[in-house]
């Protein structure tokens, strides 16, 4: 393939591999790869996949954990001209089979530790599915059929492919699944240009990102947060340090051993991490700490700044924007803006419109409404779902295309975005609209509260009643203590929870976000 300057994944990777061939590209618990080695391994896998019948435009399933083998697989699929679809590994076999059928994936590359899940899934599919096992740290004790293909064991049997297709910038590059909290996850389609633009925009967030920078990645490979971490570092010549799962002790040991420079975790993961070890020496190599996925409480935010790094960045984005839309850096985290998600990334724009309104129904600063956003990395649409594409992506009078979120928010006079929760999280009690974020913020300030979630439950008189679910670090924490704490917080009377439920854990989605729907249904 001739070298090009196009904004495509193959062109960007080829350039990095030429310039930094001996730099480490990826590390996991059992393997390390330079960019030269990643280049060769992915070319060999292209040849293997071709012999399995994969052609440009085909969808290839990835049932994988974060690992060097996953990165080899993802890159090979993209270089071949096919579309990678990473599946959530915690989904059930029946749901995975529906997804395989939906995307008509004829080949699935699966982690060897998930062999049973792959087998159960393939047996439920409407058409035959071929499998290629990936032997990773998680699958070291797994037994794979000796007659089947296995990576990296069998890569040496295949010649590296150098006759790779040259995609256009606006060609389809990948399908990223949504969280799927209530139905079959939708497939969000991204172009090569969109993915590269997303990777480039993060230079505004990842402080001192340069060749040789190292980021720890424990995210699910199906999570857009995985794309928002591995892709910028791959594009910059940095190293992705993969962890098969988020184990707090293993994670901290990895930070020290691999001299990680950048950390990215969801707020729930940060809370678990800092409740385990608050020794700043653990994070001596860390230049910057970052979080996204959901709003962060100020208590945890301050602990990150004091323990991990004074350089903290908060980003807001979505699967439909391939990561980030707004960035909030430590310099601006003062006063009331401590809990903002910041201002738009370069080349991005955010506006607030009234609920149910068009892209032109823009609300003035300070008013609460639905968040709309646009940037070069906005998705092309939803896979084979024109109706949902039309509902989620709107065009304004000037021809500019916007993503319509489900998030409620407001902008202040200087353009800082404040999220108040999702529109479907809104509690309506006695005709008053109540967003849970402000209440949860207060609960997190109690020293015994590890996690908290506020939802509205049915009430015969008020329609809904505010109730809180709490994970406590202190078994003696009582409802009376929390009621006293809340009453002294300054929250309005209508915002104060009328009941508290003490639980061992809060339900999460496959991408580690709080699943309020399950809380409401299980109450």
The answer to whether the CB of 467 falls within 8 A of the CB of 497 is yes
Cβ-based neighbours of 506, under 8 Å, separated by 6 or more: 268, 451, 453, 469, 471, 514, 515, 519
- Which of these, 221, 232, 240, lies nearest to 511 by C-alpha position? 221
pLDDT 10s digits, 426-470: 787 876 768 788 899 899 999 999 999 999 998 887 888 999 999
- Give the per-residue pLDDT at 179: 62
Written as one string, the DSSP assignment of 100-125 is HHHHT--EEEEEGGGHHHHHHHHHHS
Phi, psi of 471 (to 5 degrees): -105, 120
Delineate the domains of the chain, giving CATH numbers in brackets.
9-190 (3.40.50.980), 426-522 (3.30.300.30)
Considering the entire predicted model, what is its pTM?
0.84
What integer best gives the mean pLDDT of the chain? 91
- Give the per-residue pLDDT at 141: 58
Tokens encoding 495: 């915002």
- Flag whether pLDDT at 147 surpasses 60: no
pLDDT 10s digits, 273-316: 988 877 889 999 999 999 986 667 778 888 899 999 999 998 98
Count CA within 13 A, CB hemisphere, residue 120: 12
Within its chain, how far is the Cα of 340 from the centroid? 19
- Flag whether pLDDT at 121 surpasses 90: yes
Q: State whether the Cα torsion 412-414-417-418 is positive or negative.
A: negative
Burial 111-122 (b: 16+ CB within 10 A, else e): bbbbbebbeebb
- Flag whether pLDDT at 396 surpasses 70: yes
- CA dist list (Å): 510 to 177, 182, 231, 273, 330: 11, 12, 20, 19, 29
- Flag whether pLDDT at 166 surpasses 70: yes
pLDDT 10s digits, 77-113: 999 999 999 999 988 899 899 999 999 999 999 999 9
Task: For the chain, give the percent of residues with pLDDT over 90.
Answer: 71
Segment (H or E) for 449: strand 449-459
Helix 192-201, helix 9-19: angle, nearest 10: 50
pLDDT 10s digits, 16-25: 999 999 999 9
Task: For the chain, give the percent of residues with pLDDT over 70.
Answer: 94
- Going by pLDDT thresholds of 50, 70 and 90, the confidence category of residue 183 is low
- Going by pLDDT thresholds of 50, 70 and 90, the confidence category of residue 181 is very low
- Which of these, 94, 328, 245, lies nearest to 254 by C-alpha position? 245
The answer to whether the CB of 416 falls within 8 A of the CB of 340 is yes
The answer to whether the CB of 66 falls within 8 A of the CB of 119 is no
| Integer Cα distance of 387 and 415 in angstroms | 32
């Amino acid at each position: 393939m001739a070298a090009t300057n196009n904004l495509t994944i193959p062109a960007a990777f080829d350039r990095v591999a030429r310039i930094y061939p001996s730099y480490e590209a990826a590390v996991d618990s059992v393997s390390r790869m330079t960019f030269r080695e990643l280049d060769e391994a992915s070319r060999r896998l292209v040849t293997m996949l071709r012999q399995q019948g994969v052609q440009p435009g085909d969808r290839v399933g990835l049932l994988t954990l974060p690992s060097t083998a996953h990165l080899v697989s993802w890159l090979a699929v993209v270089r071949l001209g096919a579309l990678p679809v990473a599946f959530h590994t915690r989904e059930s076999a029946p749901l995975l089979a529906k997804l395989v059928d939906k995307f008509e994936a004829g080949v699935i590359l699966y982690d060897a530790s998930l062999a049973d899940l792959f087998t159960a899934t393939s047996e439920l599919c409407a058409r035959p599915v071929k499998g290629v096992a990936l032997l990773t740290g998680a699958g070291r004790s797994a037994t794979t059929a000796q007659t089947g293909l296995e990576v990296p064991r069998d890569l040496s049997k295949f010649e590296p492919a150098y006759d790779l297709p040259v995609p256009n910038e606006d060609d389809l590059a990948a399908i990223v699944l949504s969280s799927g909290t209530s139905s079959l996850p939708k497939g969000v389609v991204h172009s090569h240009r969109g993915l590269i633009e997303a990777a480039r925009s993060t230079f505004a967030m990842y402080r001192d990102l340069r060749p040789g920078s190292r980021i720890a990645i424990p995210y699910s490979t199906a999570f857009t947060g995985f794309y928002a971490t591995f892709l910028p570092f791959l594009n910059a010549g940095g190293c992705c340090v993969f962890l098969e799962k988020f184990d707090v002790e293993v994670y901290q040991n990895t930070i020290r051993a691999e001299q990680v420079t950048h950390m990215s975790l969801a707020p729930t993961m940060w809370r678990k991490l800092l409740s385990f070890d608050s020794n700043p020496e653990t994070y001596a190599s860390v230049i910057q700490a970052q979080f996204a996925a959901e709003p962060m409480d100020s208590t945890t935010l301050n602990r990150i700044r004091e323990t991990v790094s004074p350089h903290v960045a908060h980003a807001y984005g979505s699967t439909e924007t391939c990561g980030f839309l707004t960035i909030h850096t430590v310099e601006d985290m003062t006063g009331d803006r401590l809990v903002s998600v910041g201002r738009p990334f370069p080349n991005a724009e955010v506006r607030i419109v009234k609920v149910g309104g068009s892209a032109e129904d823009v609300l003035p600063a300070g008013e609460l409404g639905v968040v709309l956003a646009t940037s070069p990395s906005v998705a092309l649409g939803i896979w084979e779902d024109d109706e949902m594409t039309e509902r989620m992506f709107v065009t304004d009078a000037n021809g500019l295309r916007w993503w319509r979120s489900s998030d409620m928010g407001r902008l202040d006079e200087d353009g800082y975005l404040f999220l108040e929760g999702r529109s479907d999280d809104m509690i309506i009690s006695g005709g008053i609209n109540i967003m849970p974020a402000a209440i949860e913020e207060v609960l997190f300030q109690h020293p015994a509260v590890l996690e908290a979630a506020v939802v509205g439950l049915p009430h015969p008189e008020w329609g809904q009643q505010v109730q809180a679910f709490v994970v406590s670090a202190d078994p003696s924490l009582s409802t009376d203590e929390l009621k006293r704490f809340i009453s002294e917080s300054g929250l309005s009377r209508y915002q104060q929870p009328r009941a508290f439920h003490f639980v061992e854990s809060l339900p999460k989605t496959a991408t580690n976000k709080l699943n309020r729907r399950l809380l409401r249904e299980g109450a």
